[in-house]
Amino acid sequence: MSVQPMETEENLNNASFIDMKRTAIDHFGRLGFFYDACRDCLIKQPNINVKETLCQVDKIVTGEIKYGYDDQPQKLLRLLSIDEHLMLSILLELTPNTDKTSLINYSHLSNKYTRLFCYSYIDHIQKLSNKIKDIKQFMYSSISSTAATHIITGIEWGIDLVVLLQLPVDHDKAVQIDTILNKLLSSLLHEESICPLTQDEESLLEHIVHTKVYTYVSGLNHVTKVRDVCHYIKENINNISDYPITYILQPIKDFSRQHNEECRKFTLLSKELNENIEDYVLKLIVDREKLQNTILEDMPKFSSEYLKHQQNNIQIQWLNVNEKITNEIKRLSNFVIQIRSGEAENLFIKQIFNDNEQMIIKNSIDELKQNVKHLEEKEHFIRCLNQQNFQYLNVIEYNIDQSDNENSIEHKLVQNHQHYRILCSNDYLNKNNSEELQKLICDLIEEAKNNSSLHLIYADFSDCSFPLSTMMVLSSLKKAHEDMIDQLSSELSTAMETFTVPFTEPDILTDQPTPTSVSIDETINIVLLGETGVGKSTFINAFANYLTFHTLEEAEAGQSVVLIPVSFMITVGDNFEEHIVKFGSVDESNNEDFDHPGHSVTQHCKSYIFNLNDSDQRKLCIIDTPGFGDTRGIEQDDLNMEHILEYVNNLTHINAICFLLKPNESKLHIYYRLCLNQLFSVLDQNNVKKVIVCFTNSRSTFYTPGDTAPLLKQMLRSLAIGDVPFKKENTFCFDSESFRYLVALQNGINFSELDRQEYEMSWIKSVHDSKRLIEYICKELASRCIQQE
């Protein structure tokens, strides 16, 4: 703000010699009373005997209905016809608020459904007699002891009132009520009695939300219907017209020009300066009232007990902000008094509008508003969680801090729930990852629908020192697994089932029989994980055959490798004939369930060992696991995961963890996240680099990860376990359809030549990535196995 002298109207005309009118805020004023225009208030004084003149005038009756607005946060007081200088005195609390000016204390902002029903009736005017010798005599003895600037030389007597009405938020009803209000006002102004209302009109007036009368007349203070106000005025007009409405003020200097130096000066603020201060103070008052209503009236109604601590902090912050606003209004009040009294002729505008102080107050108000808004949103969020059967926990109440880990957090938060999911997040993560939050909530709700015993928990880390960098879901699986591990033997060699696979490709696999026991240095262990139905068992069979036969023609001529019995349905021909195709001894398999669609076909973890023909005579062991997302529900998934973790924990080492996915998923199952978190709660998190990703059925996406890629990237980024790789070097694309084609041919099903050409190319592509996978494991992962404790 530029530094320039303030401007007052004294530059044009000294207000000490100007007669003024002021709305009679204090109705105890009488002729001859002193008035301090610097503060706009009466000054108490002894009664004096003055002569008066009664001006008989025609009765003056005025009325108007004024409308509130939505486009600015204006106060209702601005809707009244009050002098701008008196208005500033009211806002600065220099003069007391009484009767209709107490509208400033109305606890709500006006809006387009706010109405002011204004009525004024002047019965007579009283003035000082022209013979004012006794007045001068009194003033000569009082000037030196008074702070007055003016004397009341005239009073308009009558009645003045305002009825505040808050109409219903319904445009059509508001229009109809306005018509009735105008009818009542017209009757009050122009007719002998108030016109009767119809029953429908009476019913419409009942929809008025709030009615408040502002007036000196005590008989109207408790009237709550505008119709009754109108009737009361008509019936009692002769008895209620004896109140001062307006004071006519004359400067004291007019009565004592020879004592001008002893009289107190009075200078009006310029219109621009008056408006600037008024706008600024009005904004402070509006902000204060909005905050006060929310903090002292609305916040105590919050249902959540978990927000009491935050509420207390906001109330403390509110007291600080309220004190700042009060002190700022007092500061401006002092400046205005100094300017009006002529004591600040050299005052600069920069001194009035202190930029630094204003900025501090603004920042304090904005910060409090933001905190209040955040608390309101938090209350709504918790209420929605409760409605969706989530239990809300504020982790600070469970003594969780930066020294905790996932295990200790689960131990502190959950004690008696056998099946649970704990969604861990905080306000910052929720704000910046709203889509992920909603997805996690929806996924958990969907799980809970299939399992009535599943307990959903939202753990709020907003107020604690634990460094939660990403949202995570904790599961009862991990805790159950850890309890089980304590009771299990560390020996697995006798429990593992092994298969010997005769391969004909000398560069990769040998036809040597696999021993039942192998050392850590000789075996590369790969854990294969995936959702139910992704085709893990089929993939293992296809993988073995891709490594055995370079081309589809070789596979047709040779003996197919059967590692795992499989069964699937295939549709062929123009009429879409359905055929059930079986591969291997399906009926004799005790680890594959083909009779219950939707259930995980693989019932238990099983190891399949491939003999590699390298100089170290190492072997490749793929561990097939039950799929997650079982249609039998979350309990079955929990059991499957417990079994996987138990099995993996008893392996002597792990070289790689392979996730098998389809390339065209619209969303990833929530169990991918849970599975990774739970696996690396057992394994060393530093070994996330051992994760590899395989895509099956990728012919439709031109042997790329397709739509699944961005979903997988997002999921991996959100994990708290570290930087899980997802790059070309650890990603492999296959097409199990070419293997299914081979099996279908062996089952006597015929295909077109065009189909054959497509599957031949698919076989070649899959062979290429099979070899690349073996090379990656042997060169990049085999020497950096995950040692189990």
**What ranges do the domains of the chain cover?**
9-268, 388-485, 520-787
What pLDDT, in 10s, does the model give residues 268-318? 888 888 888 988 988 888 888 888 888 877 777 666 666 777 788 888 899
Q: What distances in angstroms separate CA 238 from CA 162, 216, 534, one per listed residue?
A: 19, 15, 93
Q: What is the CATH number of domain 520-787?
A: 3.40.50.300
What pLDDT, in 10s, does the model give residues 527-586? 898 888 888 888 888 888 888 888 888 888 888 877 788 777 877 777 777 878 887 765
| Cα(243)–Cα(234) distance, integer angstroms | 16
Amino acid at the residue 761: M
Please report the pLDDT score of residue 398 as a whole number: 85
Which of 701, 705, 699 minimizes the C-alpha distance to 759? 699
Split at pLDDT 50, 70, 90, the class of 351 is low
- H or E segment and range at residue 281: helix 271-293
Q: What's the mean pLDDT in 177-203?
A: 92
Q: Residue 145, Cβ neighbours under 10 Å: how many?
A: 8
pLDDT at 386 over 60: yes
* More confidently predicted of 348 and 334: 334
Backbone dihedral region for residue 748 (phi beyond 0: left; psi -120 to 50: alpha; all else: beta) = left
Task: Tell me the helices (H) and strands (E) count for the chain, helix number first.
Answer: 20, 23
pLDDT at 413 over 60: yes
121 with 60: CB under 8 angstroms?
Answer: yes
Enumerate the β-bridge partners of residue 582.
Answer: 567
pLDDT at 657 over 80: yes
- Total residues found in the chain within this entry: 789
Amino acid at the residue 521: D
pLDDT at 133 over 80: no
| Tokens describing residue 350 | 């920069």
Q: Residue 159, Cβ neighbours under 10 Å: how many?
A: 23
Give the least confident one: 268-282, 405-419, 707-721: 405-419
What distance separates the 2 farthest-apart alpha carbons in the chain? 136
Please report the pLDDT score of residue 168 as a whole number: 93
